[in-house]
Amino acid sequence: MPADLAESDEYRVLLLPATRRDAEAAGLLLRAAKLKCEICQDARALAQEIETAVGAVLLTDAAFQDPHIQDTLEALGRQPTWSDVPAVLLCRSDYRSDIADNALRLLRNVTVLERPSSSRTLLSSVKAALRARERQYQMR
């Protein structure tokens, strides 16, 4: 993805972190990689941001306990037919696998990573998601 496109809202990564510390760490990591990101406070805010422009979504298994996660899923469902917003989901290894299984069922384009994950793995997954999104934008 060319650097000038990375500044476009169409390529921004929307974050729904489990904690403020996670938000700070992920935001620093993505910005250091020259990726534009927006930290969302809850699933309702994430849904609103998805409606404007999005490159990829980064969230944790905790998002599925948010009372407004359905708003996010509905926003993803309202995307144009050409759009399949990629999501990267971080799941704790000691957590029940049904959350990851549920995410795989509900999200059409998701990569599930075990949490904690290495910075390299996380960045690689997010960049792959953005490359996939770039191909979608080229096809529209």
pLDDT tens-digit series, residues 38-73 = 999 999 999 999 999 999 999 998 888 889 988 998
Strand ranges (E), 2-138: 13-16, 37-39, 56-60, 87-92, 110-115
Confidence of residue 1 (pLDDT cuts 50, 70, 90): low
On the question of pLDDT at 98 being above 70, the answer is no
Q: In the structure encoding, which two tokens stand for residue 45, read together?
A: 């805010």
State the pLDDT at residue 35: 96
- What number is the average pLDDT over the span 80-105? 78
Q: How far is CA 17 from the centre of its chain?
A: 10
State the pLDDT at residue 5: 53
Distances (CA, A) of 6 to 19, 58, 76, 134: 26, 16, 21, 10
Coil/strand/helix, residue 81: coil
State the pLDDT at residue 105: 74
Average pLDDT, the chain: 88
How far is the C-alpha of 44 from the C-alpha of 66, rounded, in Å?
A: 9
State the pLDDT at residue 91: 86
On the question of pLDDT at 109 being above 60, the answer is yes
Please indicate whether residue 4 or residue 39 has the higher confidence score (pLDDT). 39
Confidence of residue 92 (pLDDT cuts 50, 70, 90): confident
Q: What is the DSSP letter of 72?
A: H
Are 93 and 61 within 8 A, CB to CB?
Answer: no
